Chain A
Amino acid sequence: MTEPLLTMSGVVKQFPGVRALDGIDLDVVAGEVHCLLGQNGAGKSTLIKVLAGVHRPDEGRITWRGEDVTIPDPTAAMALGIATIYQELDLVDGLSVAENIFLGHEPRTAGFVAQRRMRRDARALLERLGHGEIDPATELGTLSSAKQQLVSMARALSRDARLLIMDEPSAVLASDEVENLFRIIRELTAAGVAVVYISHRLEEIRTVGDRVTVLKDGRTVAEGIAVADAATPRLVALMTGRDVEYDFPPRVAPQVERRPLLEVSGLTRRGEFEDVSFTVHAGEIVGIAGLVGAGRSEILETIYGARRPDAGRVVLEGGELRPGDVARAVDGGMGLAPEERKSQALLLQQSVTGNVSLPVLQRFARLGVIDRARELDAVRERITALDVRPPDPRRSARTLSGGNQQKVVLARWLLAGSRVLLLDEPTRGVDVGARAELYRLVRALAAEGRGVVIVSSEVPEVLGLSDRVLVLRDGRVIHVGPAADIDEAGVLDLVMEGSVE
C-alpha cells in the first residue's frame, strides 16, 4: 500500500456536554474512494468539519502527506488541498457558475477579474467533469441541484484538491445522475485524487467504494476494511448491532371497516403533475413511487393545501377541502410530514413540546392562555408512546437525531388526531436502526384505522410498506396496483421506460 495521504489518530472533539468525536482513526491513500459509514450522530458530520477546518479537535493527531498539521480554518483546509462538498451546497445563487467556481481566487489581470479567462477555465473544469453543456455564464440559482453539485465539484478541482470529501452527494440526485457522479469519482481517483464518500446507501458504497471506515458513537469501530470484505450484514452489524438493511414488519389486515378517507380526483398542477386520482381507505397505506422530479412531493403538498391546484378536487372523509388552505386540511384531520424536516416541519429553536402542540394549541388554552402543565403532559404521553429518545418534552428539537425528529413530527399529528397522514420521504436522514422502528410505527398507525400516503425515493421502502402503489412518470400516474404484485425492477422499468402495460 502507498504512503497515506491523510491519517487521523485518536481525534477527539468535545462540545458543551457531548463528546462528538471520541477517538477517530482514519487513513486515506491517494486515488482511493474511502467510504465513511455510521448512523446519525455517529460523528460523521463533525469529522468532516474537523477536516474542513470548521471545528478544531481537542485531542489527537492529523497527518497530511507525512507531516503533522493543524487545520485552524477553512482557508487552511483549502490551502492543503482538502475540499468539502456539503449536503447543503455552499454556493451563491445570484452569481454565475464561473464566479462560483472561482469565488475567492478569481483569475485577475491588473486587479480586475479576468472574465474571459475565468469563463474559459470554468468551461474546461466542467468539461473535465463531463458536463461541458453547463454554460459558465449561467446564474447558479437557475440550475438543478444535480448541476449545482457539479459546480461545487468544479470549484474543488479549481483549487487543486487532493482530497475531496462528499457528504451524501447522491441524496439530491436521480439514479441516472448518480451514475454520472460515480463516473466522475472514478475519473478523479484515476488521476490520483482521494475521495472520502459518505452515504447511507450501502449499495452505493459497494458500487463506488474501495475501503470503508465505520463510525459508531464518535469512535472508529472498523478502520479501512476493503469493500470486497464488507458484506452488508457485517456493516450493518458494525453500525447498529442489527443485521438487516430493510426490515419491514409483516402485513396484518386492519381491524377497521374499509371506508374511503381521502379521495383525490383529477388533481392537476400544470408543469408539475396531471390528472392524479386515487383513494385511500381507512387502514390502508398507499405508496407513490417515481424519480426525483416526477412530481411526488408536489402532489402531497397540493392535497394538503400547501399548493393550489389548477384542477381537481380533494375530498376528506366526505367533505371537499378548500384548495390552497392548509389550516382547513389540518382541522379536517390531515397531517403532513414534509420532505425537508428541518426547514418545513420543525421549529428548531423551540422545545419538543412547542413543536408537537403547535397545530392544536387552542385545545390547551382558556381565553387564549395556555395551560402549560396540561400541554406538557399531553405531549409527554405522545412522545413516550412513539418512543422518542430521550422522552423529554422540554428538550430542544435541534438536539434530536433525524429519526427522533421525524417521530416528533408524527407525534404532532397523533396529538392532533389526524386520520390521514401524508409522509414525504419519512426516512430521509434517518439511520438504519431507527428506520425499522419507523416502518413498524407507520404500519401500526394504519392498522389503527388511519389512511397513510407515503412518498419515498427508495423503491424498496415504498413497496415494502404500502398496500397499494402509484407509479409516477413525468407527473402522470402510469401504474396503480397492489404493492405485492410488483417488484423493484418492475417499478424502475416503468419509471425509466413507461412502456410496460
Chain B
Amino acid sequence: MSGTEAHAAETEAAGGDLRLWQRVDTGDLWRGGGLVIVLILLVIAGAITRPEAFLTGNNLFNILSLGAVIGVVTVGMTFIIIGGEIDLSVGALVALASVWATTVATQEFGFWGMVFSALAVGTVFGLLNGVLIAYGRLVSFIVTLAMLVSARGLAEQISNRQPQVARPPEFRSIANGSVLGIPILVLVLIAVAVIGWIVLNRTTFGRRTFAIGGNAEAARLAGVRVQRHVMTLFGLSGLCCGIAAIMLTARTTTGSSTHGQLYELDAIAAVIIGGTVLTGGRGSLVGSMLGVMVFTTITNLFILNGLSTPFQNIAKGVIIVVAVLIQRRASLRGG
C-alpha cells in the first residue's frame, strides 16, 4: 500500500513524527510543489528580463511588502477554507476596520487606540458572520456576501466616502521602518503566518478545524463543539482583516472605504493554488503563502517591465488554472 500510504501520511493532519519542530512538513512542500516550480519560472523570467532590478535584496523585500497585507488576510482565509467554509467579506472588513480606526473620534485615543479599534472591529464583525453561519445555520457564502456589501456600505457611511488621514506618526514608521533590515510589514506577515502555522498544525484548534472541514457530522458526533468552533473561525478571519487594515492604513497613511477591493478573490485564489481543497478538510498554510508570493511576484515583474495591469490579470488567471492542473496531476499520481 506504499503509494496510498505515502499520500495519506502526507495529507493527514495528525501527522507523524513527534515534537513540535522535529518534523518539517513535507506534506506542505509536496503539495506546494507545483507552485515552487511556477515561482522558480517567474524568478527566471525576472532574472532574464530585468537582471539588474529583479535579483536584488531590496526587490525581494519589495515583493514581500507588496504581499504582506493580502498575506495576512490569506492566513485567516486558509483556516476558513480548511474548515469547509468561505469568507467573501474579508476585503470589506479590511475597509471597515481601516475607516473605523481613522475616524476623528478614534484618533483621539492615539496609535494604540486605533490599533485596538481595527482589531476589535475586524473580530466583532467576523464573529457576527460566524454567529449567523454557525447558530443561524445559514450558508457562509450567502452570509459573507451580505457582509461584503453591507460592511463596505457602513465604511462609506462612516467615512462619507472620503479617505481619512491617519495622524499618529507610528503609522509612517510601520510602513517605512525595518528591524534588522527587514521591513516591519514583512515581519508582521511572518509573525502572523508562523503563529497561524503552529495553531493550524500543532494545536487542538487546528486539528478540530481539519476534522470539521473533513466531516462536520463525524466531528459533532465525536463531541467536538462544531458551532462554537465555526464561529471562532470567522472571528479569527476577522481578526486577520483587522491586522491587515492596520498595515494598509500604515502603507497608504489613510483609512478608506475603498481599501481592500477584491481582497476576497485574491485570498481565495492564493489558498486554492496553494493546494487547499475548497470542500475543506485538507490544506496547507505554507501553500497559501507560496500562492501569495506567486501573485505578488507576477505583479512585481509586470511593474519592473512596465507592462499593463490588464496583462497582469490575464497572467494571474492563467497561473491559477495551470497551478491547479499541476496539483491535480500530482495528487492523482499520489493516490
Contact = CB atoms under 8 A, between A and B. Distances in A.
Interface stretch (A22-30, A120-128, A239-247, A348-356): A348-356
B252 interface: no
A331 interface: yes
A26 B85 CA distance: 47
A368 B205 contact: yes
Given A344-B217, A347-B281, A18 B223 contact: no
Given A16-B2, A327-B224, A396-B5, A350 B204 contact: no
Given A350-B13, A350-B14, A354-B13, A343 B215 contact: yes
Contacts of B281: 347, 349
A347 B214 contact: yes
A362 interface: yes
Given A365-B204, A369-B198, A346 B218 contact: yes
B14 A354 contact: yes
A358 interface: yes
A394 B202 contact: no
Contacts of B211: 347, 350, 354, 358
Overall SS of chain B's interface: helix
A361 B4 contact: no
Contact of A369 (B16, B20, B221, B224): B20
* Interface size of A as a range: 35 or more
Contact of A344 (B4, B199, B218, B282): B218
Contacts of B219: 347, 358
Output the residue of B215, B224, B281 with the most chain A CB within 10 A.
Answer: B215
B204 A361 contact: yes
Contacts of B5: 17, 395-396, 399
Given A359-B223, A368-B204, A17 B218 contact: no
* Interface size of B as a range: 35 or more
B1 interface: yes
B335 interface: yes
Interface in B1-38: 1-5, 7-9, 11-20
A251 interface: no
B59 to A, nearest CB: 37
Contacts of A346: 215, 218
B207 interface: yes
Nearest to A304: B221
Given A17-B3, A372-B19, A349 B222 contact: no
Given A17-B4, A349-B11, A361 B208 contact: yes
Nearest to B9: A394
Given A343-B217, A346-B215, A396-B5, A351 B222 contact: no
B54 interface: no
B210 interface: yes
20 contacts: A15-B3, A15-B4, A16-B1, A17-B2, A17-B3, A17-B5, A330-B222, A347-B218, A350-B14, A358-B207, A358-B211, A361-B204, A362-B204, A368-B203, A370-B203, A372-B202, A394-B16, A396-B5, A398-B4, A399-B5
Give me the 4 closest cross-chain CB pairs, A-B, nearest first: A16-B3, A330-B223, A396-B8, A354-B14
Given A348-B215, A361-B208, 9 more contacts: A17-B1, A346-B215, A347-B218, A350-B214, A358-B211, A361-B204, A372-B15, A396-B8, A416-B223
